[in-house]
Structures are given as C-alpha cells and as structure tokens.
C-alpha cells in the first residue's frame, strides 16, 4: 500500500471501491486502485458518485482523497502520491506547471463550476458604493479570473490584452474606486463580514453553504468559458487504463445527469465534442 505524506495536510477520505475488473490501471495501490485527489465540492462529490454507482461496473477501483487547498493536490500528483486529481482549470494548471516546475496534463474536462461575486451588503454589483472593498483570490489565475468577472459587470476595465493572469495593475478604469483585498481563496467566504463583496471560487462558496445560483450577486456565464475543471495526471499517464476508464465515466450521460440534478445550475456539465 502506498504511503502518502498528503494525509497529514489534507482531509483524507478513504473511499475505496469494490471494483470487479482486474485491468484498472497501475493505480495508487498494489491492487490497482486509482487514487484521485479532489476538493470536496463539487469534485469530491462527483468522484464519489462515480465510485459508488459506476466504477465497479466499469472494472475500476477508485479511492478519493479530499484536500482543502489548491497546491497540495498538484504537488502530491507530481510526487506520485496521487494518480490523478480533479479540481482545477486549464489556466491554473498552466500557471502551476510554469511556476512550480511540475509536468501535469489535462485528460478530460467534465464540468464548469462558475465563479461568483458574493456580498452581505448589496444584492447587485451595481449597488457597490464608491470606495467599496472587494476581496479577490491571491493566486495568479484565480485573481485574473475574478477581475475579468468584475469587468463583465462594468465595475472595472482591464487594459487591452490582459489575459487570464490579469492583476490589479492591469485595471485601467475603476470608476467606483474599488479597493481590492487579496486573500487565499479558501479564506474568501469568511471575509464576507469584513468586506463589501468577495469573488469566491465555486467549491469554497458551496463549502461555506453559499448557493451560486441563489446567493451570488454576479455569476460567470458558461459561454466561451475557459475555466472548466479538468482531470489531471502526470505527463505519460494519460493512457493508463484506469485513468482512461475514469475519464470516460466523468463525461458519461449518467454523470451529466447527476450534476444537473444535484447542483441545479450551480455546476454545469460540459458537453464533450
């Protein structure tokens, strides 16, 4: 059995399936179990649905390990403590590989968890007062994503060519003189009592009991959205039999139906071409 240093820092959840097939890939354990890291919502819930309802029939043994941050799932994957992870989007993965020297690649993109603006003080973004404080994630890609969302509401304007790594330095127009407070993404829901609004990642919003479709004052559109979450593996493992089985299950009609029924628009299944 593989011993993982991740268990100390993550909320490990031993969800080992009783799969029936023998060709489930190299897996994370001697018996071929595929060990997948995930944040709790929605990734952990989607993977648990696959484990409980689809994996055995597909001949896949699956273990889900839950994490509470955005760094450890990738470092654990790079170091071999995980076989795959599900929680991040392509811009985040590209930036992580570049900044951390990892070699991780996308296999499939099963769903989009839209980012939202939340507030206890206003019910629409246009009601933010002059000089309002808005909390945003402090990692490069999520901060850029947050600023792009604020720009869609006309609250700010970003300079031409500002991409997914946009920062407050790229703000060229700020008519409401918004002040940005950069915080770790996981801390954003707890900041709502202290700021006028916060731009919060979907999983952390739901972890905190916030409903993206009911509580967000501004929510990302799925149209032409580059932030669908992806199943990632270490380069070279894309064709591992267990990984390929999981990838097929994640984009199956059964999983799409589960996502629609459970999240009611707060998470959106991605149609595969």
pLDDT band of residue 70 (cuts 50, 70, 90) is very high
CATH topology identical between 6-114+226-269 and 116-219: yes
If you average pLDDT over residues 37-66, what whole number do you get? 97
Q: What are the residue boundaries of the structural domains of the chain, listed by start?
A: 6-114+226-269, 116-219
Q: Residue 16's pLDDT is what?
A: 32
More confident: 141 or 55: 55
Mean of pLDDT over the chain: 89
pLDDT at residue 62 tops 90: yes
pLDDT at residue 200 tops 60: yes
% of the chain surpassing 90 pLDDT? 82
If you average pLDDT over residues 35-57, what whole number do you get? 97
According to CATH, what is the number of the domain 6-114+226-269?
Answer: 3.40.190.10
If you average pLDDT over residues 19-26, what whole number do you get? 43
Q: Residue 29's pLDDT is what?
A: 53
Domain 116-219 maps to which CATH number in 3.40.50.970, 1.10.150.530, 3.40.190.10, 1.25.40.10? 3.40.190.10
Q: Residue 104's pLDDT is what?
A: 98
- pLDDT 10s digits, 159-182: 999 988 899 999 999 999 999 999
Given a contact cutoff of 8 angstroms between Cβ atoms, the answer to whether 186 and 40 are in contact is no
- pLDDT 10s digits, 204-234: 999 999 999 999 999 998 788 889 999 999 9
Using left for φ > 0, alpha for ψ between -120 and 50, and beta otherwise, residue 111 falls in beta
Rounded CA separation 153/156 (Å): 8
Q: Residue 5's pLDDT is what?
A: 36
């Amino acid at each position: 059995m593989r011993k993982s240093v991740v268990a100390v820092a993550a909320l490990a959840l031993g969800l080992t399936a009783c799969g029936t097939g023998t060709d489930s890939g190299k897996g994370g354990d001697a018996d071929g179990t595929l060990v997948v890291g995930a944040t709790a919502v929605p990734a952990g819930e989607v993977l648990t649905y696959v484990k409980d309802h689809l994996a055995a029939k597909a001949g896949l043994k699956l273990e889900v390990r839950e994490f509470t941050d955005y760094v450890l799932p990738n470092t654990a994957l790079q170091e071999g403590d995980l076989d795959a992870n599900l929680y991040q989007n392509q811009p985040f993965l590209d930036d992580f590989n570049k900044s951390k020297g990892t070699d991780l690649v996308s296999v499939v993109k099963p769903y989009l968890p839209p980012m939202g603006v939340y507030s206890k003080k206003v019910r629409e973004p246009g009601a933010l007062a002059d000089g309002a404080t808005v909390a945003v994630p402090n990692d490069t890609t999520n901060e850029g994503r947050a600023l792009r969302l604020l720009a869609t509401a006309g609250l700010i304007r970003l300079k031409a060519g500002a991409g997914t790594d946009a920062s407050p330095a790229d703000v060229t127009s700020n008519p409401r003189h918004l002040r940005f407070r950069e915080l770790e993404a996981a801390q954003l829901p707890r900041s709502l009592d202290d700021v006028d609004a916060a731009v919060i990642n979907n999983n952390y919003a739901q972890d905190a009991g916030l409903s993206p479709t009911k509580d967000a004052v501004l929510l990302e559109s799925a149209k032409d959205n580059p932030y669908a979450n992806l199943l990632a593996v270490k380069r070279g493992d894309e064709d591992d039999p267990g990984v390929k089985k999981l990838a097929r299950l994640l984009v199956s009609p059964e999983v799409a139906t589960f996502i629609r029924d459970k999240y009611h628009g707060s998470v959106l299944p991605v149609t595969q071409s």
